[in-house]
A and B are shown apart, each in its own frame.
Chain A
Amino acid sequence: MSFEYFLSLLVFSPLAGILVLSFLPKTQESLIKMVGFLATLPALILSLIAYFQYRAGASLESLSEKVSWIQFGYSEQLGNLFSIDYELGLDGFSLIMLVLTAVLSTLAAIASIHIKKEWKGYFMLFLLLEVGMLGVFAAENLILFFIFFEITLIPTFFLIGKWGYFEKEKAAYSFLIYNGLGSAVLLIVIMVLFARTGTSNIDALMAAMSADNPQLVAPITENMKMGMLIALLIAFGVKLPIFPLHSWMVRVHVQAPPSIVMLHAGVLLKIGAFGLIRFGMGIFPDQFQSLAVLLAVLGVVNLLYGAFLAFVQTDFKMVLAYSSISHMGIVLIGVGALNEAGIQGAIFQVVSHGLIAALLFFLVGVFYERVQTSNIQNLGGMAKGMPITAGFLLAGAMASLGLPGMSGFVSEFMAFLGLFKEMPVLAAVGTIGIIMTAVYLLRAVLGITYGQAHRDFAGVTDMKKFEFVPVLVLVGLIVLIGVYPSVLSEPLTSTLETIMLGIGG
Chain B
Amino acid sequence: MDLETLLSYEWSIMAPEFIILGVATALSLLDLFMPKAQSRKILGWIGFAGILAALVSLLGLVGHSTESILFDTFRLDSFAKAFKLLLLIGAAMVMLIAISYELNEGLEEFRGEFFYLFLAALLGAMMMSSSGDLITLFVGLELLSISSYILAGMRKRNLQSNESAMKYVINGGISTAITLFGMSYVYGLTGTTNLKTMAGFLTTVYDEQHIYLLGLAFFMIVVGLSFKLATAPFHMWAPDVYQGAPTPVTAFLSVISKTAGFALLVRILFSIFANTPSGDAEGMPMILTLQDYIAFLAGATMIIGNLIALRQRNIKRLFAYSSIAQAGYLLVVIATMSLFMFDALWFYLGAYLFMNLGAFAIIQHVTHKSGSEDISQFAGLYRRAPFLAIAMAVFLLSLAGIPGTAGFIGKLNIFMGALVPQEGHYVLVSIMIAATVVSYFYYFGVMVQMFFRPAADVGKIKVPAALTAVISISIAATILFGVVPNIAFDFLQGNFNQFTDFFQ
User: What is the interface of chain A, defined by CB distance below 8 A to chain B?
Assistant: 69-76, 78, 82, 143, 146-148, 150-151, 153-154, 157-158, 161-162, 169, 173, 176-177, 180-181, 184-185, 187-188, 191-192, 194-196, 217-219
> Complex formed: what's the CA distance from A338 to B409 in Å?
37
Measured between C-beta atoms, what is the minimum distance from A53 to chain B in Å? 30
For residue A158, which residues in chain B have a CB less than 8 angstroms away from its CB?
Answer: 447, 451
9 closest Cβ contacts across the A-B interface?
A: A195-B419, A147-B403, A73-B340, A191-B415, A184-B433, A180-B437, A150-B403, A195-B420, A184-B437
Residue B440, interface by CB 8 Å: yes
Chain B, Cβ-Cβ closest to A154: B402
> Complex formed: what's the CA distance from A177 to B343 in Å?
31
For residue A69, which residues in chain B have a CB less than 8 angstroms away from its CB?
Answer: 484, 486
Q: Of B59-67, B72-80, B256-264, B422-430, which binds chain A?
A: B422-430
Given the known A-B contacts A70-B489, A72-B489, are A143 and B412 also in contact in the complex, defined by CB atoms under 8 Å? yes
Contact B403 A188 (CB under 8 A): no
Given the known A-B contacts A151-B403, A195-B419, are A72 and B343 also in contact in the complex, defined by CB atoms under 8 Å? yes
Residue B173, interface by CB 8 Å: no
> Complex formed: what's the CA distance from A196 to B409 in Å?
18
Contact of B421 among A146, A157, A176, A218 (CB under 8 A): A218
For residue B440, which residues in chain A have a CB less than 8 angstroms away from its CB?
Answer: 176-177, 180
Chain A, Cβ-Cβ closest to B340: A73
Contact B343 A195 (CB under 8 A): no
Contact B404 A75 (CB under 8 A): no
Measured between C-beta atoms, what is the minimum distance from A220 to chain B in Å? 10
Contact B420 A218 (CB under 8 A): yes
For residue B6, which residues in chain A have a CB less than 8 angstroms away from its CB?
Answer: none
Q: Number of contacts between A and B (CB, 8 Å)?
A: 100
Chain A, Cβ-Cβ closest to B498: A75
Q: Mark B427-439, 1 if CB is under 8 A from A, else 0.
A: 0011001101100
Residue B45, interface by CB 8 Å: no
For residue B452, which residues in chain A have a CB less than 8 angstroms away from its CB?
Answer: 161-162, 169
Contact of B413 among A72, A173, A196 (CB under 8 A): A72
Interface of B is mostly: helix
> Complex formed: what's the CA distance from A82 to B403 in Å?
18
> Complex formed: what's the CA distance from A153 to B409 in Å?
17
Residue B416, interface by CB 8 Å: yes
For residue A147, which residues in chain B have a CB less than 8 angstroms away from its CB?
Answer: 403-404, 408
> Complex formed: what's the CA distance from A78 to B498 in Å?
12
Chain B, Cβ-Cβ closest to A77: B339
* Given pairs A71-B489, A73-B340, A195-B420, 4 additional interface contacts (CB within 8 A): A72-B416, A73-B339, A82-B420, A161-B451
For residue B441, which residues in chain A have a CB less than 8 angstroms away from its CB?
Answer: 173, 177
> Complex formed: what's the CA distance from A217 to B447 in Å?
41
> Complex formed: what's the CA distance from A206 to B417 in Å?
23
Instruction: List residues 434-491 of chain B with CB under 8 A from any CB of chain A.
Output: 434, 436-437, 440-441, 444, 447-448, 451-452, 484-486, 489-490
Given the known A-B contacts A176-B444, A184-B433, A188-B429, are A73 and B421 also in contact in the complex, defined by CB atoms under 8 Å? no
Measured between C-beta atoms, what is the minimum distance from A130 to chain B in Å? 15
Contact B397 A71 (CB under 8 A): no
Given the known A-B contacts A73-B340, A184-B437, A188-B433, are A195 and B415 also in contact in the complex, defined by CB atoms under 8 Å? yes
> Complex formed: what's the CA distance from A169 to B422 in Å?
44
Measured between C-beta atoms, what is the minimum distance from B45 to chain A in Å? 34
Contact of B429 among A75, A176, A191, A218 (CB under 8 A): A191
For residue B372, which residues in chain A have a CB less than 8 angstroms away from its CB?
Answer: none
Measured between C-beta atoms, what is the minimum distance from B435 to chain A in Å? 10
> Complex formed: what's the CA distance from A74 to B485 in Å?
13
For residue A184, which residues in chain B have a CB less than 8 angstroms away from its CB?
Answer: 433-434, 436-437
CB<8 Å pairs between A and B, sample of 28? A69-B486, A70-B409, A70-B489, A71-B486, A71-B489, A72-B340, A72-B413, A73-B340, A73-B343, A74-B493, A82-B416, A146-B403, A147-B408, A161-B452, A169-B448, A176-B444, A177-B437, A177-B440, A184-B433, A185-B433, A188-B429, A188-B433, A191-B412, A191-B419, A194-B419, A195-B415, A218-B420, A218-B424
For residue A82, which residues in chain B have a CB less than 8 angstroms away from its CB?
Answer: 416, 420
> Complex formed: what's the CA distance from A158 to B451 in Å?
8
Measured between C-beta atoms, what is the minimum distance from B432 to chain A in Å? 9
User: What is the interface of chain B, defined by CB distance below 8 A to chain A?
Assistant: 339-340, 343, 397, 402-404, 408-409, 412-413, 415-417, 419-422, 424, 426, 429-430, 433-434, 436-437, 440-441, 444, 447-448, 451-452, 484-486, 489-490, 493, 498
Most buried by A among B403, B486, B493: B403
Measured between C-beta atoms, what is the minimum distance from B475 to chain A in Å? 15
Contact B424 A192 (CB under 8 A): yes
For residue B436, which residues in chain A have a CB less than 8 angstroms away from its CB?
Answer: 184
For residue A185, which residues in chain B have a CB less than 8 angstroms away from its CB?
Answer: 433
Contact B486 A218 (CB under 8 A): no
For residue B498, which residues in chain A have a CB less than 8 angstroms away from its CB?
Answer: 75-76
> Complex formed: what's the CA distance from A196 to B408 in Å?
20
For residue A75, which residues in chain B have a CB less than 8 angstroms away from its CB?
Answer: 339, 498
Measured between C-beta atoms, what is the minimum distance from A84 to chain B in Å? 9
Measured between C-beta atoms, what is the minimum distance from A417 to chain B in Å? 40
For residue A180, which residues in chain B have a CB less than 8 angstroms away from its CB?
Answer: 437, 440
Contact A218 B412 (CB under 8 A): no
For residue B343, which residues in chain A have a CB less than 8 angstroms away from its CB?
Answer: 72-73
Chain B, Cβ-Cβ closest to A196: B419
Measured between C-beta atoms, what is the minimum distance from B449 to chain A in Å? 11
Contact B444 A173 (CB under 8 A): yes
Contact of B444 among A157, A192, A195, A217 (CB under 8 A): A157
Measured between C-beta atoms, what is the minimum distance from B1 to chain A in Å? 40
For residue A146, which residues in chain B have a CB less than 8 angstroms away from its CB?
Answer: 403
Measured between C-beta atoms, what is the minimum distance from A59 to chain B in Å? 30
For residue B416, which residues in chain A have a CB less than 8 angstroms away from its CB?
Answer: 72-73, 82, 191, 194-195
> Complex formed: what's the CA distance from A47 to B422 in Å?
43
For residue A161, which residues in chain B have a CB less than 8 angstroms away from its CB?
Answer: 448, 451-452
For residue A154, which residues in chain B have a CB less than 8 angstroms away from its CB?
Answer: 397, 402
Measured between C-beta atoms, what is the minimum distance from A351 to chain B in Å? 27
Measured between C-beta atoms, what is the minimum distance from B177 to chain A in Å? 38
For residue B448, which residues in chain A have a CB less than 8 angstroms away from its CB?
Answer: 161, 169
Contact B424 A195 (CB under 8 A): yes
For residue B493, which residues in chain A have a CB less than 8 angstroms away from its CB?
Answer: 71, 74
For residue A150, which residues in chain B have a CB less than 8 angstroms away from its CB?
Answer: 402-404, 408
Contact B424 A70 (CB under 8 A): no
> Complex formed: what's the CA distance from A73 to B421 in Å?
14
For residue A78, which residues in chain B have a CB less than 8 angstroms away from its CB?
Answer: 339
For residue A188, which residues in chain B have a CB less than 8 angstroms away from its CB?
Answer: 426, 429-430, 433
Chain B, Cβ-Cβ closest to A158: B451
Measured between C-beta atoms, what is the minimum distance from B419 to chain A in Å? 4
> Complex formed: what's the CA distance from A217 to B419 in Å?
11
Contact B419 A192 (CB under 8 A): yes
> Complex formed: what's the CA distance from A153 to B408 in Å?
14
For residue B421, which residues in chain A have a CB less than 8 angstroms away from its CB?
Answer: 218
> Complex formed: what's the CA distance from A195 to B429 in Å?
12
Chain A, Cβ-Cβ closest to B485: A70
Given the known A-B contacts A158-B451, A162-B452, A177-B441, are A151 and B413 also in contact in the complex, defined by CB atoms under 8 Å? no
Measured between C-beta atoms, what is the minimum distance from B91 to chain A in Å? 28
For residue B430, which residues in chain A have a CB less than 8 angstroms away from its CB?
Answer: 188
For residue B340, which residues in chain A have a CB less than 8 angstroms away from its CB?
Answer: 72-73
> Complex formed: what's the CA distance from A157 to B448 in Å?
10
For residue B409, which residues in chain A have a CB less than 8 angstroms away from its CB?
Answer: 70
For residue A151, which residues in chain B have a CB less than 8 angstroms away from its CB?
Answer: 403-404
